[in-house]
Amino acid sequence: MAIEPEIIDIPDDDSHQDNNNSSAGKERIPVLIVEKNGDSPRIGENKRTRIWLPAMSAGIITAIVCMGLFLFFSRNRTNTSGALSEKEIIGRLEKPYDIDKKGIIAGCDTILGVALEIYPLDGLRGSLETELPDTTDRSLVAFFRSADYTPDSTAICPVVVNGNPIRFKEQNGRYAYVAVSPQGRVEIGVGEGDRVKEYTQKNGGSFFRQYLLLGDNNLPEKFSLHGKVERAALGRMDDGSLYYVITRGKETMWGFADALREYGFMDAAYITGGDKYDFIRRPDGTFTLGDRLREEYAEQSGRRPASPMLVFRNAR
């Protein structure tokens, strides 16, 4: 019996109903605009205040609005950003990677009213695995969900496991990707290009797509998931260091992403399932197991999860 897939409800509209829950005092905040087939995203601005125009004839209103939009986008959006390109991501994946850590220690902080637990992952070997890991394996340090799946176990967006592509149902909106080299280096990228996916497939690496939370320390233009639930993310700092971050309470996507931005993360990919599907081993050998995972292991260990797990191990 397989683990029950997590069903993702994706609304048809682009409502920003949750987007005003943090940074309330700011009128504008940079946002990331990811264009179709673009290698690098663009930076723009998102207004958080409404502008009411005085009543006038329809022709004058149309002219003013069109001119205003033209000037706004010409002034505030550029064609490049500091987010890593696909070429740069591939270059990082090809670099040697030292594996040495034995466990991870959580750091805690509260940013913009969002309580975060932050786990450093540098020095660990990453991999995508289609079986639930054995928790008695002392090299196992952390694992959590990766790509989203439909009820019939079809991946949403491309997934590659050790060079092997998995059947998927294309769905737009997941502009962040996570790539894993055969040596275990994990990198986060932003964009819709296929070069990194093709590289991992050709070289025996792994790859999956997820919702974008941050790109070059900027929020995405819109979020497709709304409401308040426990949130989790894989984040990269400016120095390239990698972290797993979870919230201690229920947060909106916007509030969580804004807290990550304020904390200093550059790129961040959403991790589905929150802390209900994660495993964390401390340096002393003890570990924590998410509620849903605990139930699954108690019923029958060794089952195939609904989606591949992103697993981190130390050197044996």
How confident is the model at residue 73, as a pLDDT?
A: 37
| More confident call, 46 vs 97 | 97
At CB < 8 A and 24+ separation, what contacts does 95-100 make?
Answer: 95/185, 96/183, 97/125, 97/181, 97/183, 97/184, 97/185, 98/123, 99/123, 99/124, 99/125, 99/184, 99/313, 99/314, 99/315, 100/314, 100/315
pLDDT tier at 263 (50, 70, 90 boundaries)? Answer: very high
What percent of the chain shows pLDDT beyond 70?
70
192-225 pLDDT, tens digit each: 899 999 999 999 999 999 999 999 999 988 888 8
Residue 64 is classified by DSSP as: H
How confident is the model at residue 274, as a pLDDT?
A: 67
97-110 pLDDT, tens digit each: 888 888 898 899 99
118-140 pLDDT, tens digit each: 999 999 999 999 888 988 999 99
